Structure 1
Amino acid sequence: MKLLVIDAQGGGMGKQLVSAIKKEFPLAEITAVGTNSLATSNMLKAGADHAATGENAVVVGCRRAEVIIGPVGIVIADSMYGEITPRMAEAVGQSEAKKFLLPMSHCNNTIVGVGNTSMGFLMASVIEELIQYFHC
């Protein structure tokens, strides 16, 4: 199972994702890609098996992953305060990998119909979706 976790800014969400996934799926191969070195470093500290930073790392990672996980902003060009480039958003969107996108409303992108959900709930939801996906 090859998972790609993508995060930006401080990598806080990515760090929690990597930690939660490793706890439930200790043998999963997780590649963490941050849009900046701080995000990458935090995900690596959480237990990612591989890590890289930047636009090309996202593009290459999307070609190799079976599953891509991250905030919904990873499919919106110029989101996350401009950290998601059009090329990154295109690579995620065109990837054949299964995508699990967490509904984060910020940076002028509002996910309508989604309430202010706690990070704990989102992490539990991702793990449940992964369990369903890999046990089908």
Structure 2
Amino acid sequence: MKVVVIDAQGAGIGQTIIKRILKEINTDVCIVALGTNAVATSNMLKAGANVGISGEKAICTFLKTNKIDCIIGPIGILCTGAINGEITGNISQSILDIDCIKYLLPLQKHGIYIPGTRNLQIKEMIEEIVMAIKKEFKR
């Protein structure tokens, strides 16, 4: 299974997701860290990602040319200009265009509110995503 984790800035959320996946999923999983900057990518590699890719062009090329099973990241990865401007239109469009499951953490930032979402802690959201991946992976 090829799992992509995408994050920006210092990749605090991405690191947490990667550590949790490695702890919970005991089978073969390849984690690809897509960082909008070198610091984000480096931090996700330190957390245990197998591969790290940095920058807009490299991220978009990877997403267009690789088969992946799922993408995980904060909801801002779909919004041009989000995460302090680090998510470009090309990145968000490449994420939308890829045919895979997209697990989004519905952080209430960027003026986005999704009715029906519960007010969970980030670690609870990550736990829910990891459990969904485990369930999907067993199929």
TM above 0.5, yes or no, is yes
TM-score, normalised on structure 2? 0.89
Kept in 2: contact 1:71–1:103 (CA 8 A): yes
User: For residues 95 and 43 of structure 1, what CA distance do their matches in structure 2 show?
Assistant: 22
Unaligned runs of 5+ in 1: none
Say which SS state the counterpart of residue 4 (structure 2) adopts.
Answer: strand
Q: Which residue of 1 aligns with 2:10?
A: 10
Q: Which residue of 2 aligns with 1:40?
A: 41
1:94 matches 2:97: yes
Unaligned runs of 5+ in 2: none
Kept in 2: contact 1:62–1:97 (CA 8 A): no
User: For residues 89 and 51 of structure 2, what CA distance do their matches in structure 1 show?
Assistant: 24
Letter of the structure 1 residue corresponding to residue 23 of structure 2: K
- Aligned-residue CA RMSD (Å): 1.5
User: For residues 118 and 10 of structure 2, what CA distance do their matches in structure 1 show?
Assistant: 23
User: For residues 114 and 42 of structure 2, what CA distance do their matches in structure 1 show?
Assistant: 28
Instruction: Count residues with an aligned counterpart.
Output: 136
User: For residues 9 and 16 of structure 1, what CA distance do their matches in structure 2 show?
Assistant: 14
Kept in 2: contact 1:4–1:61 (CA 8 A): no
TM-score, normalised on structure 1? 0.91
User: For residues 98 and 41 of structure 1, what CA distance do their matches in structure 2 show?
Assistant: 25
